[in-house]
Amino acid sequence: MIHQRTIANSFSLKGLGLHTGVEVNLVFKPAPAGHGIKFQRVDLEGQPVIAADVNRVVSTDRSTTIGSGDANVSTVEHLLSAVSGLQIDNLLVEIDGIEIPILDGSAMPFLEPLLAAGFEEQEEQREYFIVEEPITYRDEESGVEIVALPYDGFEVVSMIDFDSPTLGQQYATLRGYEDYATDIAPCRTFVFLHELEALFEHDLIKGGDLTNAIVIADQLVPQERLDKLAKRMGKETVEVTKKGILNTIQLKFHNEPARHKLLDVIGDISLLGVPIRGRILATKPGHGSNVGFTKLLKRAYMEQRRLKGRPQYNPNDKPVFNTVEIQKIMPHRYPFLLVDKIISMDEKVIVGVKNLTMNEEFFQGHFPGNPVMPGVLQIEAMAQTGGLLVLSQQEDPYGWDTYFLKIESAKFKSFVVPGDTVLFKMELIAPIRRGICQMRGTAYVGNKIVSEAELVAQVVKRP
């Protein structure tokens, strides 16, 4: 069991936004279990709070921006990457502007004060998204492909290829979180010289300078252009090194650009809202593709949560009750005995199985030619399963019957057809009093919930 955690102490941070050039102040505060990662715009009326959630993404133009209503926070990826890399589950970040500061272009300026703040373990258990089958995001035009694969742990592999003779193809790998602080967090963002010049010309990076990005010159650059760039950035001069980068900073790793892309992937996929158990393979990732991929993960995660209570069925296991034993307790007989066996049972939960064949009597008249199990019979099968739980707890389980008093919140979500094996899971939602039992029923076929309802029944002694 792994518990959630937050930071132990609050702290402040400030810096310039890359695109706005405006100084912003951040305050990092501990948050309660289940809070998640959230930003609060304290400079706006009402101080709106924005959850770090992929469904809150409003832009991926050169950075990731999340928003709620009229309130936005941009360039969140490096901060979120540091938070994710340190496995922080709950955090409130107050900000008095629209953009997270760029600082040195990496996640390290966020990671170091987070480490210094310390961590506090919380009582609530951490929840994970477990990758159970391949999930693929692909863009044929750009060649982007991001895949999630089952894996007992966490691993990210990034590959970049910008058709640049200077940069070439680069790979980076992170296995687990142990090496994140040393191998990924220090890696800075990068930009090609021609992109940088265009951004300056359009006044789009007011807070940028030559110390918070690796600038790559992938073609021969006249010194006149370099001098013009240096003047604009307040430098005496700049030049291109033999490695094809401007001499304003030194590479920390030979594959620092690929490592930074991995840093971005971790930050963007943290918008899922829970950590991942799986392997992520990212080819030519960017913020737009990272967010598109994370939306696929979100859908799979929500389905996994919905099916979290799905019973596991192994037909080789010995049942709690077989059909003959069920008939000793239940008065129902063909064609109204709708449970073949009970595969698990405790004081509050029971799971029954019904194997459907074309020979079921109701298939003969219910949509002939397109046989479907009636929804009301699915509810009846739930009731019979729940009745076995209640009756088995009586001193004389053979002398009682159960009768419906109420059916609520019944939903039918998918057809049940010949050949299906249906699992009926019944859970007591209140103690049995005066023979009245309240139960929640869910019917599964494979990975699908086919129906659900809340049932109230009364246990009555047979005359």
Q: Strand, helix or coil at 274?
A: coil
Tokens representing 308?
A: 């979290």
DSSP summary character for residue 420? -
DSSP H helical ranges for 11-107: 77-85
C-alpha separations of 117 from 51, 78, 79, 87, 267 in Å: 22, 18, 15, 14, 20
Are the CB atoms for 32 and 92 separated by under 8 Å?
no
Q: Catalytic residue among 19, 78, 260, 287, which?
A: 287
Looking at the DSSP bridge assignments, the partners of residue 101 are 17
Dist CA 241 CA 74 (whole Å): 33
287 catalytically annotated: yes
Q: Which amino acid is at 228?
A: K
Tokens representing 149?
A: 């694969």
Are the CB atoms for 57 and 86 separated by under 8 Å?
no
The sign of the dihedral angle between the CA atoms of 411, 417, 418, 423 is negative
260 catalytically annotated: no
Dist CA 1 CA 340 (whole Å): 36
Are the CB atoms for 137 and 148 separated by under 8 Å?
no
Are the CB atoms for 125 and 4 separated by under 8 Å?
yes
For 8-80, strand residue ranges (E) read 11-16, 23-30, 37-41, 49-51, 57-59, 65-68, 71-73
DSSP H helical ranges for 149-192: none
Q: Catalytic residue among 35, 194, 332, 366, which?
A: 366
Dist CA 374 CA 338 (whole Å): 12
Tokens representing 240?
A: 């291109």
100, 104, 105, 108: CA torsion to nearest 10: -90
From first CA to last CA, the distance across the chain in angstroms is: 50
Tokens representing 116?
A: 């210094």
Dist CA 64 CA 74 (whole Å): 6
> Which sequence positions are flagged as catalytic?
287, 366
